[in-house]
Structure 1
Amino acid sequence: MMVLDAAAELLATHRLEEVSMAAIARRAGMSKRTLYTVFSCREELLGASFARIGQTLFRRLTEVERQQPLAERLRTLLTLNHVPCFEETPLELLRAVVTEAPVFPGIARQLDTEGRGALIRYVGEELTAAAAEGEADLKGMRAEDAAELLVDMVIGDTLHRLLIPEDSCSTPAERDLRRDRAIALFLDGVRPR
């Protein structure tokens, strides 16, 4: 949809407070009035934009991928898909959403639900399947709780990264190493004995 494309382009190149309905309408080549017939407010539009970004970053496994061993399924799920326009801005965008959350809670909720929340759901689905097949013993934990634990291990401390970005895993190789170590530790803990 061209409106969400326009919003994504602006989000990647401008501060969040500069991404107004007027700016999005101009970028999409339509009037603000027309834009308001599609989205009733900025919060709704930005929420839809973040949902779309989350769906690009995280996705469910394909049927072919579901046939792989659990470690490989988790590695696939926990590898962020490439979104070139957001390579340089994820922390700045997250800071802006946190800043606007008290005024526009729907934007923050949508980002959490369609980003981290979606990833937790997808990992939880795989852990449920793995437990049913005897690949994992969740030790009485709900699959969603175990998934949240694993996602947090892979992603790390977001608050620390927001405050001191230079301390975080910044290269793809560092992120992949952290992901692989987290999966290995997690699977060792849920290995059927």
Structure 2
Amino acid sequence: MTENSAELDEKNVRKRGRPVQMDPAEREALVLDCAIDLLSENGLEDVTMADIAKRAGMSKRTLYALYRSREELLGAGLKRMSKTLFRPLRQEERDASLEERLRILLTFTPGKHPNSLVIEMLRAVIAAVPSYPELGRRLSRKGPGQVAVLLCEELRRAVEAGEIEIEQDDIPAVSDLLVDMVVGNTISRLLDPDSLPRTPEETDARRDRAIRIFLNGVRPRKA
């Protein structure tokens, strides 16, 4: 696409009612929402950058200025979706038992998009990591690992309150371990195309079992 044709494409979009100026954060949110919606409707293989640009009401040139590739866009979409999977404690929940506080932090928040879509997006991003290594690093730190940050904060408070016994330096590793216990082996689900997502009941049962086992190992021992 030439520069003139790209500008013409952008002008035509604006004539259809899209705002001429948009806050960068709003524009990024619009693009990611459109991309995820298209993927939900059509599947991974049938969605192109051109499709996403059209749904978002912008030119491909504008879209590529935000994301260098479809895989980079998918990584940003996964990061956005993963932030909604878990929530921090509300103020009125801080006086609950440690077991209940962990249960709240480790409860999946149902999203409007199916788990199967998340798995498909993750497969596409992993395949692109050799070409976009920083994408994989960012997703690992800020995507699924987000809940470990919430857990670290809560475990530190629990240690200070004497509810559990963990060395301060070990808290990040312990948080990761607890997340792994709750979430399970994602690799097997990524490798098996016929793998079915857990039901909400199975997910909750695994969470509660993991928390019980975890607390049995870190609670203070009575003399």
Task: Tell me the residue number matched to 2:159.
Answer: 131
Deviation at 1:16, TM superposition (A): 4.4
Task: Indicate if the aligned counterparts of 2:126 and 2:136 stay in contact, CA closer than 8 A.
Answer: yes
Provide the aligned C-alpha RMSD in A: 2.4
Task: Indicate if the aligned counterparts of 2:106 and 2:207 stay in contact, CA closer than 8 A.
Answer: yes
State how many pairs are aligned: 192
1:40 to 1:182, Cα distance in 2 relative to 1, 3 A: closer
TM-score of the two chains, using structure 1 as the length reference: 0.86
Residue number among 87, 102, 116 corresponding to 1:88 in the alignment: 116
Task: Tell me the residue number matched to 1:41.
Answer: 68
Q: Which has the larger radius of gyration?
A: 2
Confirm whether residue 54 of structure 1 aligns to residue 103 of structure 2.
Answer: no
Tell me the distance in 1 between the aligned counterparts of 2:178 and 2:201: 19
Task: Tell me the residue number matched to 2:97.
Answer: 69
Task: Indicate if the aligned counterparts of 1:3 and 1:25 stay in contact, CA closer than 8 A.
Answer: yes
Tell me the distance in 1 between the aligned counterparts of 2:49 and 2:194: 33
Which amino acid in 2 is paired with 1:41? R
Task: Indicate if the aligned counterparts of 2:85 and 2:110 stay in contact, CA closer than 8 A.
Answer: yes
1:14 to 1:103, Cα distance in 2 relative to 1, 3 A: farther
Tell me the distance in 2 between the aligned counterparts of 1:178 and 1:56: 20
Task: Indicate if the aligned counterparts of 2:85 and 2:109 stay in contact, CA closer than 8 A.
Answer: yes
Higher RCO (C-alpha under 8 Å, 6+ residues apart): 1
Tell me the distance in 2 between the aligned counterparts of 1:182 and 1:91: 23
Which sections of structure 1, spanning at least 5 residues, go unmatched? none
1:76 to 1:125, Cα distance in 2 relative to 1, 3 A: same
1:170 to 1:81, Cα distance in 2 relative to 1, 3 A: same
Task: Indicate if the aligned counterparts of 2:116 and 2:197 stay in contact, CA closer than 8 A.
Answer: no
Residue number among 85, 107, 120 corresponding to 2:148 in the alignment: 120
Tell me the distance in 1 between the aligned counterparts of 2:121 and 2:42: 9
Task: Indicate if the aligned counterparts of 1:15 and 1:96 stay in contact, CA closer than 8 A.
Answer: no
Deviation at 1:15, TM superposition (A): 4.9
Confirm whether residue 152 of structure 1 aligns to residue 180 of structure 2.
Answer: yes
Residue number among 158, 171, 184 corresponding to 2:199 in the alignment: 171
TM-score of the two chains, using structure 2 as the length reference: 0.75
Deviation at 1:91, TM superposition (A): 2.4
Identical-residue share of aligned pairs (%)? 47
Tell me the distance in 1 between the aligned counterparts of 2:96 and 2:188: 34
Tell me the distance in 1 between the aligned counterparts of 2:190 and 2:72: 25
Deviation at 1:11, TM superposition (A): 3.5
Deviation at 1:137, TM superposition (A): 0.7
Task: Indicate if the aligned counterparts of 2:78 and 2:121 stay in contact, CA closer than 8 A.
Answer: no
Deviation at 1:107, TM superposition (A): 3.2
- Cα deviation per residue 1:122-145 (whole Å; 9 max; x = unaligned)? 111111111011111115652111
Residue number among 91, 104, 112 corresponding to 2:132 in the alignment: 104
